Amino acid sequence: MAEPIKCGSTIRLSHQASFKNLHSHGVESILSKQQEVTAYGQGDGEGDGGDNWLVQCSTTFWTKDQPFRLKHVDTGKFLGTAKKTEINQET
């Protein structure tokens, strides 16, 4: 059963099929020139500090209908994406 995630909590996000963690480490992405984010690890869900993300939101708990941000604990950078850096057949 799922449990609520309190705002201000440190979490790890794992890819369901590979069980690798959402990871970052201050390396610049070739496409966006921003901080690179990858699926990393041995598929055991363990990992290291590069897998830790801080949930920032304005309520007590992270809810699907409220805005939130994920801040990378080690580097202080926020998770984001942009349509112009989408990986597709042309890139």
Per-residue pLDDT of the chain (91 residues; tens, 9 = 90+): 678 999 999 999 988 888 899 999 888 777 777 788 888 888 777 889 999 999 999 999 999 889 999 999 999 999 987 776 666 666 5
CATH architecture classification, 10-77: Trefoil (2.80)
SS3 15: coil
Q: Is the Cβ–Cβ distance between 58 and 66 less than 8 Å? A: yes
Q: Which amino acid belongs to residue 2? A: A
pLDDT at 87 (0 to 100) = 63
Instruction: Give domain limits for the chain.
Output: 10-77
Among residues 49, 78, 48, 68, the alpha carbon closest in space to that of 5 is found at 68
Pairing of strands 21-28, 53-57: unpaired
**Amino acid letter at 13?**
L
* SS3 category, 85: helix
